[in-house]
Chains A and B, each alone.
Chain A
Amino acid sequence: MSKFIIQVNGAAYASSASYNAYRFAKAALESGHEIERVFFYQDGVLNTNTLNSPASDEFDLTQAWVSLNQKYEVQLVNCVSAALRRGILSQNEAKENQRKHWNMEEPFEMGGLGELVTGIETADRVISF
């Protein structure tokens, strides 16, 4: 059994990268592997926009990540600076930046790039999408 850290760099719906990341993460957990955390970097932070509202007959990727967290308690962390420059804000960042709205909430959380680096250090493998 291995311990992975998953790095997601692709935006939800803009490419298949993030869907493939989700499928990999789900399959790994179902097979008994451990996932240190899922780290959203680059356009990957757009996966965590809780306002993502695909049509009812489409796969809801944001909700799928949330379900993965609920079932396996896998940590879902955004790179905060990558998120902020792409308009992904938690309630806390909205307050700090004097914005009226926010679009990221639990179980997604903000973190630093350090959480990717320490994740790479402690996991057996980093898998990037």
Chain B
Amino acid sequence: MKKVAILFRRAPHGSPHGREALDLALLSASFEQEVSLIFVDDGVLNLVKDQQPERVGAKDYIATFGALPLYDVETVLACEESLVEYGLDLTDLTIEVDKVSPSLITEQLSKVDEVLVF
């Protein structure tokens, strides 16, 4: 079993990166890999709750983040500096995440076998 980190760096809906990152995360988890999700930069916008992606012609994959616990994905980190940049508190987010410093993210990246950036 490998440890895989999936890094969300881009804002949702403007490109399919976030959706395809989540697809890969859930599939990896269902193949019994140890998956961690890390949200940095514009990627933290994936976490904002009450989004209505259908209004811009996009699929609502944001709701699917709620399934992460069912897949036993336990490590979900969001960069505190990126959250501050967008004025986001934990109460603005659709799922429970650990708000962590960039150095803790670096530490997590060094603990995993592979990092996939979206």
> Which residues 1-58 in B have Cβ within 8 Å of A in the complex?
1-2, 4, 16-17, 20, 23-24, 27-28, 31, 33
Contact A125 B20 (CB under 8 A): no
Contact B116 A7 (CB under 8 A): yes
Contact A126 B116 (CB under 8 A): yes
List the B residue with the shortest CB-CB distance to A112: B27
Complex partner residue of B114 from A85, A112, A118, A126, CB under 8 angstroms: A126
List A contacts of B17 (CB < 8 A). 42
List A contacts of B33 (CB < 8 A). 117, 120-121
Per the CB 8 Å criterion, the residue count for chain B at the interface is: 15
> Which residues 89-129 in A have Cβ within 8 Å of B in the complex?
112-114, 116-118, 120-121, 125-126, 128
Task: Report the separation of the CA atoms of residues A118 and B16 in the bound assembly, to the nearest whole angstrom.
Answer: 23
List the B residue with the shortest CB-CB distance to A86: B16
Q: How large is the interface on A (under 10, 10 to 19, 20 to 34, 35 or more residues)?
A: 10 to 19
Does chain B have a CB within 8 A of A82? yes
A42-B17, A82-B20 known; A117+B117 contact, CB < 8 A: no
Does chain B have a CB within 8 A of A65? no
Contact A114 B27 (CB under 8 A): yes
List A contacts of B2 (CB < 8 A). 120-121
A7-B116, A113-B27 known; A120+B4 contact, CB < 8 A: yes
